[in-house]
């Protein structure tokens, strides 16, 4: 477990649900500065919800979420905006603004938040695009980009304000093996070169283990296991084993809950 | 019992929607003053909402003016008053058809585009991304569009009336042989700025405001799925058209009463 005083993100006894439906309960996650930490788990286990709680998009029903010493649920609108300026978020689809080209997409946060000269904006944008290997694609529109390229542009945009923290929502999903490799390399290199802290929400075991310093495994709305990738791979915990080894059946059942098969087949009602 | 329950749920839903849209309008209006310093954002919207709608408005108004002149002459001839056709065309356009038809076309062309654009931005997480970049999507995306629509619609309605009169002139004077001098002089003598033109302008301002409000709210409030965006676009046209026709009656009644 990382040291508390070094933690950039500290989530304690977190409880959250939509209406009556609980999503997360008793979640404790500590993320150390400078680390690449992954939140993994089966689909629908609440990973993205946890990211939404960390970024202040939703508020917990119980427990605390602290980012860089600030209690996120208690922040006012203006304070939350200030925190988000220091936080880059890479959404699953990249979410580039479709009416702007690659260059303008990366320049967008700079134009909105700073009064930098056009010349300086150009330099910063080209630096960030160079880092993700897409300086030559700056005139392309988002519709001309592949999924992997769109995400790299979104990564350049996420780090253009030099944040302290970058949150990645499913950065590998839908990418081909080359794209996954590029994404993994970029996340690690960006983290180390820019002195960031990176949080990955992912269910791609191989890529995530390759670049993560620490992993939290969520299941049934709570933390089922945590540790370094090696520790988790060696874990005897059934759910951890099922997930890390991609087993089709186990604590997460193959079948959705239903009445007995025979009874269902012999019955008439749908 | 079930019917009563459904009726109640429907009314509650409608009231909730009205409340949400009012709060949304209030929040959006509160974010418009800073746009005066970044008027470029509004200008872009005036172009895409107003300028790109101009062609369809111009074409429609030209034909409406021509039809009005044809119908007008046909009826006025019975009383030997065909020279008053200029006045008939102008009054019909300026007081009623200009603002109303423009608003209906505006809802169909610009309103649906606004709803679909904002709805798709929501469903493709662009609004979330903007929010996560510490930028308020209502201030950056919605407010310029509301202001752009608000400014564009009265100008389009005025253009509709002017081009409609030109269409009427072409038919009346060019095809039906009405005297050009009589066409213009009767129009000038019978059209008052205060009673006729101003009431048309008031209508177009109100319609522009309501149609753009409905369009941006439906886009922002839609369920972020393809089906949700399609339903929201549909609602924009239906609600806008009904609102325009109802408000037209109310404003006409008020202006005729007070003048």
The DSSP line for A27-94 is: EEEEEETT-EEEEE-STTSSHHHHHHHHTTSS--SEEEEEETTEEGGG--HHHHHHHHHTEEEE-TT-
Max distance between CA atoms of chain B, in angstroms, equals 70
Domain hosting residue B88, numbered range: 38-252
Rounded to an integer, what distance in angstroms lies between the CA atom of residue B213 and that of residue B17? Answer: 13
Size of interface A-B (CB pairs under 8 A): 49
Phi-psi region of B192 (alpha: psi -120 to 50; beta: other; left: phi over 0): beta
Residue A93 lies in a domain: no
Q: Are A175 and A105 in contact (CB under 8 A)?
A: no
Residue B75 lies in a domain: yes
**Contact criterion met (CB < 8 Å) for A154 and B129:** yes
Set of chain B residues whose Cβ sits within 8 Å of the Cβ of A199: none
Contacts of A165 (CB under 8 A, 6+ apart): A8, A9, A67, A68, A86, A87, A88, A196, A197, A198, A199
CA B63, CA B95: separation in Å to the nearest integer? 17
Same domain membership, residue A174 and residue A254: yes
Q: Say how many residues make up chain A.
A: 270
> Is B2 a domain residue?
no
Looking at residue B254, what is its pLDDT? 87
Contact criterion met (CB below 8 Å) for A11 and A53? yes
For residues B103 and A157, give the distance between their C-alpha atoms in angstroms, rounded to a whole number: 39
Both A203 and A74 in one domain: the answer is yes
Note whether A91 contacts B140, CB cutoff 8 Å. no
* Residue A92 included in any domain: no
Q: Determine, for residues B133 and A84 on separate chains, whether the beta-carbon distance falls below 8 Å.
A: yes
A103: domain range? 99-161
Residues A20 and A76 in one domain: yes
Same domain, yes or no: A147 and A171:
no
A113, A179: one domain:
no
Residue B99 lies inside a defined structural domain of this protein = yes
Which chain B residue lies closest to A154 (C-alpha atoms)?
B129
Contact: B125, A96; criterion CB under 8 Å:
no
- List residues of B whose CB lies inside 8 A of any A CB: 120-121, 124-126, 128-136, 140
Q: What is the ipTM of this complex?
A: 0.80
What tens digit of pLDDT does each residue of B95-106 get?
Answer: 999 999 999 999
Q: Are residues A70 and A167 in the same domain?
A: yes
Q: Which of A87, A95, A109 sits opposite B125 (nearest CB)?
A: A95
**Within 13 Å and on the Cβ side, how many CA atoms surround A244?**
24
Token pair, residue A7, equals 């933690």
B203, part of any domain: yes
Q: Are residues A142 and A12 in the same domain?
A: no
Pairwise CA distance, residues B194 & B191, whole Å: 9
Residues A260, A172: one domain?
Answer: yes
Q: Is the dihedral of CA B145, B151, B154, B158 positive or negative?
A: negative
Tell which of B52, B126, B127 to mutate to test the A interface (max A CBs under 10 Å).
B126
The secondary element (H helix, E strand) that includes residue A180 is: helix A177-194
What confidence score (pLDDT) does residue A182 get?
86
Q: Residue A215: inside a domain, yes or no?
A: yes
Examine residue A94 and state whether it is found in any structural domain, yes or no: no
Rg of chain A on CA atoms, in Å: 20
Query: What is the pLDDT of chain B when averaged over all its residues?
Result: 92
Q: Residues A173, A103: one domain?
A: no
Cβ-nearest to A84 among B124, B126, B134: B134
- The reply to whether B18 falls in a domain is no
Check residue B234 and report its DSSP letter: H
Residue B258 lies in a domain: no
Give B-chain residues touching A109 at CB under 8 angstroms. Answer: 133-135
A132-149 burial: b if 16+ Cβ within 10 Å, else e: bebbebbebebeebeebb
pLDDT in tens, A65-117: 999 888 998 888 888 888 998 898 988 888 899 989 999 999 999 998 988 99
Mean pLDDT of chain A: 86
- A220 contact partners, CB below 8 Å, separation of at least 6: A45
Domain contains A27 = yes
Is A252 within 8 Å of A242 (Cβ atoms)? yes
Chain B closest-CA separation from residue A251 CA (Å): 32
Give the dihedral of Cα atoms A229, A233, A234, A240; nearest 10 deg: 110
Last residue of a domain, one of A161, A186, A214: A161
C-alpha–C-alpha distance, residues B27 and B34, integer Å: 13
A189 and A239 in a single domain? The answer is: yes
Cβ distance A98 to B124 less than 8 Å, yes or no, reads yes
pLDDT for the residue B34? 86
How many domains does chain B contain in total? Answer: 1
Q: How high is the pLDDT of residue A3?
A: 42
The pLDDT, as a whole number, for residue A270 is 66
Of B136, B137, B114, which is closest to residue B217 (Cα–Cα)?
B114
Residue A11, domain CATH: 3.40.50.300
A208 CB-near residues (< 8 Å, 6+ apart): A38, A40, A172, A200, A202, A215, A229
**Cβ distance of A91 and B130 shorter than 8 Å:** no
Find the residue in B nearest to A157 (Cα).
B133
**Position of tokens 């592949």?**
A146
Residues in chain A predicted with pLDDT less than 50, given as ranges, are: 1-4
* Chain A nearest CA to B26, separation (Å): 17
End residue of a domain, out of A134, A161, A188: A161
Taking an 8 Å cut-off on Cβ atoms, the answer to whether A97 and B130 are in contact is yes
Instruction: Please enumerate in sequence order all residues whose Cβ is within 8 A of that of A259, keeping only pairs 6 or more positions apart, or say none.
Output: none
The model's pTM: 0.83
Structure tokens at B212: 């753009």
pLDDT at residue A6, as a whole number: 83
Predicted confidence pLDDT, tens digits, chain B (259 residues): 888 999 999 899 889 989 999 999 999 999 888 888 889 999 999 999 999 999 999 999 999 999 999 999 989 988 888 888 999 999 999 999 999 999 999 999 999 999 999 999 999 989 999 998 989 999 999 999 999 999 999 999 999 999 999 999 999 999 888 899 989 998 989 888 888 899 999 999 999 999 999 999 999 999 999 999 999 999 999 999 999 999 999 999 888 765 4
Does residue A107 lie within any of the structural domains?
Answer: yes
CA angle B70, B75, B81 (to 5 degrees): 100
Residues of A in contact with B128 (CB under 8 A): 57, 91, 95
- What total of structural domains would you count in chain A? 2
Given A142, A161, A180, the domain boundary residue is: A161
| One domain, residues A29 and A107 | no
One domain, residues A80 and A172: yes
Cα separation of A56 and A167, whole Å?
12
Whether residue A54 is contained in a domain is answered as yes
Question: What residues of chain A lie within 8 A of the CB of B38, using their CB?
Answer: none
Cβ count within 10 A of residue A4: 9
Given this model, what pLDDT does residue A18 score?
83
Residues 6+ apart with CB under 8 A from B22: none
Within chain A, strands assigned E span: 7-18, 21-32, 36-40, 62-67, 70-71, 87-90, 165-169, 197-202, 214-219, 222-227
| B128 with A57: Cβ contact below 8 A | yes
């Amino acid at each position: 477990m990382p040291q508390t005083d070094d933690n950039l993100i500290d989530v304690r006894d977190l409880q959250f649900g939509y209406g009556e439906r609980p999503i997360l309960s008793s979640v404790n996650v500590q993320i150390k500065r400078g680390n690449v930490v992954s939140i993994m788990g089966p689909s629908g286990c609440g990973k993205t919800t946890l990211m939404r709680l960390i970024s202040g998009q939703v508020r917990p029903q119980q427990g605390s979420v602290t980012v860089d010493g600030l209690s996120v649920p208690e922040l006012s609108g203006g304070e939350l905006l200030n925190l988000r300026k220091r936080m880059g978020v890479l959404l699953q689809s990249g979410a580039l603004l479709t009416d702007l080209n690659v260059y303008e997409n990366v320049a967008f946060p700079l134009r909105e938040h700073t009064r930098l000269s056009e010349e300086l904006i150009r330099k910063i944008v080209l630096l960030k695009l160079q880092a993700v290997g897409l300086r030559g694609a700056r005139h392309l529109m988002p519709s001309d980009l592949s999924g992997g390229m769109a995400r790299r542009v979104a990564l350049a945009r996420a780090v253009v304000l030099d944040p302290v923290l970058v949150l990645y929502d499913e950065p590998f999903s839908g990418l081909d093996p080359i794209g996954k490799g590029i994404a993994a390399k970029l996340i690690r290199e960006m983290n180390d070169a820019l002195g960031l802290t990176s949080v990955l929400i992912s269910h791609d075991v191989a890529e995530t283990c390759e670049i993560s310093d620490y992993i939290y495994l969520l299941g049934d709305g709570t933390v089922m296991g945590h540790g370094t990738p090696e520790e988790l791979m060696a874990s005897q915990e059934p759910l951890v084993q099922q997930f890390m080894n991609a087993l089709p059946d186990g604590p997460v059942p193959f079948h959705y809950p239903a009445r007995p098969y025979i009874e269902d087949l012999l019955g008439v009602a749908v | 019992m079930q019917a009563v329950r459904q009726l109640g749920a429907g009314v509650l839903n409608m009231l909730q929607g009205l409340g949400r849209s009012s709060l949304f309008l209030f929040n959006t209006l509160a974010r418009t003053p800073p746009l005066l310093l970044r008027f470029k954002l509004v200008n872009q919207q005036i172009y895409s909402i107003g300028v790109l709608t101009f062609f369809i408005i111009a074409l429609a108004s030209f034909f409406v003016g021509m039809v009005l002149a044809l119908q007008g002459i046909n009826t006025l001839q019975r009383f030997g008053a065909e020279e008053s056709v200029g006045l008939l065309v102008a009054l019909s356009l300026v007081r009623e058809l200009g603002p109303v038809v423009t608003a209906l076309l505006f809802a169909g062309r610009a309103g649906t585009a606004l709803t679909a654009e904002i709805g798709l931005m929501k469903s493709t997480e662009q609004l979330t991304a903007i929010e996560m970049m510490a930028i308020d999507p209502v201030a950056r995306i919605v407010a310029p569009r509301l202001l752009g629509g608000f400014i564009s619609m009265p100008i389009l309605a005025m253009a509709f009336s002017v081009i409609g009169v030109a269409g009427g002139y072409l038919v009346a004077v060019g095809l039906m042989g009405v005297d050009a001098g009589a066409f213009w002089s009767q129009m000038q003598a019978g059209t008052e700025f205060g009673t006729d033109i101003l009431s048309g302008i008031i209508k177009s301002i109100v319609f522009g405001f309501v149609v753009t409000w409905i369009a941006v709210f439906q886009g922002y409030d839609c369920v972020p799925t393809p089906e949700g965006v399609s339903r929201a676009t549909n609602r924009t046209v239906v609600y806008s058209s009904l609102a325009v026709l109802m408000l037209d009656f109310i404003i006409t009644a008020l202006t005729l009463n007070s003048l």
